[in-house]
Structure 1
Amino acid sequence: MTRKLRVDAVLVQALIAGALSFSHLHDLAEAAGQTGWKAWAYPVSVDLLLVAAWRRMSAHADNRAAWLWFTIALAASLGANIATAGLLDLSDVPDWLRILVAAWPALAFLGGTLLAHAPQPDLAPEPVQEPRTVLDREPLTADAPPAPEPATDIAPEATPAPEPALPAAPTGIPAPPVPVALVDHARKVADDHRARTGTPIDTDTLRARLGVPVTVADAIAAQLT
C-alpha cells in the first residue's frame, strides 16, 4: 500500500512539473511573436526532444550526442521557466530571444533526426557453446569394481631375419708356382726391411712392395720363412 501511494505521488508531481513547464514555454513563445497553435507546438517540441535524448542515454550512457541534445532541451525548458518568473518583461521581449524562439523548430528537428538515426553500437555476439557429447557408460556401483578396459591387440615387432652367412673360402687350394727369380727378389726386399726396421716383413707389406696378388705373396712368404 505504501509503495502504491509513493508511485502515485511521483506521477502527480511529474504531471504538475510538466504542466507548469508546458505553460511557461507556451507563454514565452507567445510573447516572442508565436501566436495561436504555434505557441502550443513549442512546449511539445521541447518535451519530445527531452524524452528522445533521455531514452538514448538510458540505452547508451556514454552517448555524447544524446547528452548534448538533452542539455539543450533542458536549458530551453529551464530558460522558459526562469524568463516567465518575472525576470523578463513579456510585453517587450528582446530581439535575441525572438531569434532563439524562431530558430528552435529547426534546431529541434536536427536534434531529433540525429537521435533517431544515430548508428547503434555493435554488440559482440555471445559465443555459441557446442553441445557436449555424453558417452554412454554403465553406472559404477560401490560393490562392483569398474570393468577393465579391453586390451588392444598389439602385433609383436618382427625381428629381422638373419642374413645368410657367406660361404667360407675353400681350403686346400695349392699355392701357385713362384719363379725363383721372384723369390730371390723378395728375399732381398725382406732383408732390406729387416735392416731398416729390425722386424721381419709381413705378408701385406711384401705384397705391396712386390705388387703381386695375395696368393702369390703368401707363397713367397712361406718360402722365406
Structure 2
Amino acid sequence: MTERTEAAVRLVILLAIGTMAGAAAFTHVHDLSVAHGQPDWIGWANAVAVELMAIYLGLELRARRRARHPVGLVASLLVAFALLSLAAQVAEAEPSVWGWTVAAVPSLAFLALVKVVLSNAPALPPAPEPDQPPVDWDEAPEQTTAAPVPERPADPVPPAVSAPAAVSAPAVILPPRGVVQSNRPHVVGIIR
C-alpha cells in the first residue's frame, strides 16, 4: 500500500468515526436539552454549540501550536466542552455501568481522534537566528593584541607591613559587534 493510499484510508476512517461520534453526540445533547424543557430548535442549537465548539477548539489549538502561541486557555476550553458532551451522553444513558460506558464511546472516540490528530502536527522548524551577517573566518580581519603592559617596580614597603604583589592584567580585546567567536557554541533553537 502506498503512502498516498494509506493517507486516504486514514482520512476516510477519521471522517467516518468523526461523523458517527458527532451524530451520536449531537443527538444526546439535543435529547437532553429537550428532556429538560428546551424547545426542539434550542436543543439542536445547544448540540451545535457544544459539538462544533469542541471541534473548533481542537483546530485552534493546532494552529496556536504551529504559531508557537500559548495554548493553555484553548486546551482548557477544549477539555471543558468535551466533558460537557460526555456528561450529556452519560446522562442520556440507561443507568447502569454498561449503559454509561456505551453512551460515553462517541465522546471518548472524539477525544481520542483529537489527541491523535494534534499529536501528528508537523515538526516545527528551528527558530531563526537573529539577523547577523554571515562570518567567513578566513576573510575576517586580523585582530591584533595589545602589547603587554610592562610591570613597574614595586614601591618600597616598610618591612613591618607586607603588601600583596601587584599583578598586571592583560588587555582585553573584544571582537566587533555581531561577530560570533569561533570557540562559542552556536544555538540553533530553543526547546520549549
Q: TM-score range by the shorter chain?
A: 0.3 to 0.5
State the structure with more CA Rg: 1
Higher helix share: 1
Relative to the length of structure 2, the TM-score reads 0.44
Relative to the length of structure 1, the TM-score reads 0.38
